[in-house]
Structure 1
């Protein structure tokens, strides 16, 4: 599950307190930009420690598969090359949802071969780990690794706005959040209907207390992407926080018709009860 899906549920319960654990950043004021940075000191993290921790969670069959692949790597007598063995190890951890360990092995494979497909796998895995990270050091480390590998892909293909959006979001949680905001704006200049960029700009506007601006962003988002459930939900949240009660009620009622998920419906009802 993506972090955006988790937040969709959690926000309704905690009334968006601490949303995304991001710094307070003014993202959309015309002619005025302000940022309150958070230091991400101590960005060093040990991938090997994470891998060792995750190995303890493997099933016997998975443990045997990992041991076999590692043995073949150590012996150097495999019919598969090192790149393929590392890729296989990364895939095992990816299937388990252990994204930092997956990123570690995909990254080793990418470094071994300069293979951009593997670099993208590494960057995507580290980004997933980044979105779930709570420890400040892990956030900083996985963000750095995301940028390292996805930037390699972007240097070869600058049109990959999906990857640029992810890189931008890693900067937003760094000591230089405006670099991320600038990147998101650049994406929207290239593609005004970009789903990820519109969503994230809306989220950042909520986080910085710009609820009317957030509503505008989410209105744009659902105009182009009406099936984006998160966007539909956050539009209701934005109206609610902007004290636009009639709009909020109508929006939440509309979202109720889009999903049968009991946790989401409970979150929506919590807002409706407060109107």
Structure 2
């Protein structure tokens, strides 16, 4: 039986490994490297300010000179553009920053897109990216602002379509993460799942929050259902393994970790899982 402190450490270790939105089918960014590890991708921009120019300038320090020059050229074109052309330029910049795992400038550009073309899809995309930035950054100044901006984006989306499950899911995640009473957010996610039992994002978040609150049995049930009936992904298996590990069910944890490794085919994740499996076999 693990001590409460050991359990808490395992929870934290498991949770912080998964960054950005957990629901991307692309494994890049799934695992945060340890402080002494070398990452192939630049880390999230720790921008002291949150204007587009400040966020971009900070992010450019984390990428190659050639890439930084490309962004400078694109941003110059963005500043000179107007109307639909400006919105299209913002979309391009948002995608390119996201490709480099720089969610803060990416999210800010998507916010510009949503302000220019205020529709449900654009506000949900902006909200999702702000949540990714919230997850990725360790900047104590930027983090709450990212959550606040996500709250605003999903609020705008819900105002456009109060029945949107994507918007409600995003808002539920925002609330549970600190923008309101956690149980209100959980209730919102449960309502989404009631209306759409196979909603991947809502189910994943419910499972994740079950782990954070130490409800490992509920987490296992949730993730097993996701894997069996919705979508078997590297992150769903990883969280399932984390829940099993916290209950001392090492064999089941090892099996789930190895499934996560197999599906991800990601060197960083594979290295972590190999070490984790070795520890669990002791």
Q: 1:262 to 1:125 in 2, by over 3 A?
A: closer
Task: Write the distance in 1 (CA, Å) between the matches of 2:168 and 2:223.
Answer: 20
- What is the CA distance between 1:112 and its match in structure 2? 4.5
2:136 equivalent in structure 1: 132
1:62 equivalent in structure 2: 71
The yes-or-no answer on 1:168 pairing with 2:190 is no
Q: Of 223, 236, 239, which residue of structure 1 is paired with 2:241?
A: 236
Task: Write the distance in 2 (CA, Å) between the matches of 1:88 and 1:103.
Answer: 14
* TM-score normalised over the length of structure 2: 0.69
| Count of paired positions | 237
Is the CA contact (8 Å cut-off) linking 2:114 and 2:126 kept in structure 1?
yes
Aligned-partner SS, 2:170: helix
* TM-score normalised over the length of structure 1: 0.71
Is the CA contact (8 Å cut-off) linking 2:241 and 2:256 kept in structure 1?
yes
Task: Write the distance in 2 (CA, Å) between the matches of 1:256 and 1:53.
Answer: 33
- RMSD, matched Cα: 3.2
Task: Write the distance in 2 (CA, Å) between the matches of 1:220 and 1:60.
Answer: 47
- What is the CA distance between 1:90 and its match in structure 2? 4.5
1:212 equivalent in structure 2: 217
Is the CA contact (8 Å cut-off) linking 1:126 and 1:146 kept in structure 2?
yes
Matches within 5 A, 1:42-121: 46-48=50-52, 49-54=54-59, 59-70=68-79, 72-73=80-81, 81-97=82-98, 98-112=102-116, 114-121=118-125
Is the CA contact (8 Å cut-off) linking 1:249 and 1:272 kept in structure 2?
yes
Is the CA contact (8 Å cut-off) linking 2:119 and 2:157 kept in structure 1?
no
Structure 2 residue runs of 5 or longer lacking an equivalent are 1-18, 36-47
Aligned-partner SS, 1:136: coil
Is the CA contact (8 Å cut-off) linking 1:83 and 1:110 kept in structure 2?
no
Which structure is richer in relative contact order (CA contacts within 8 A, separation 6 or more)?
A: 1
Task: Write the distance in 2 (CA, Å) between the matches of 1:265 and 1:61.
Answer: 33
Structure 1 residue runs of 5 or longer lacking an equivalent are 15-43, 74-80
Is the CA contact (8 Å cut-off) linking 1:219 and 1:235 kept in structure 2?
yes
Task: Write the distance in 2 (CA, Å) between the matches of 1:84 and 1:7.
Answer: 30
Task: Write the distance in 2 (CA, Å) between the matches of 1:114 and 1:253.
Answer: 43
Deviations 1:99-141 (A, max 9, x none): 3323334434433554444434433332332221212331211
Is the CA contact (8 Å cut-off) linking 1:233 and 1:255 kept in structure 2?
yes
1:247 equivalent in structure 2: 252
Is the CA contact (8 Å cut-off) linking 1:87 and 1:118 kept in structure 2?
no
Query: Rg: which structure is higher?
Result: 1
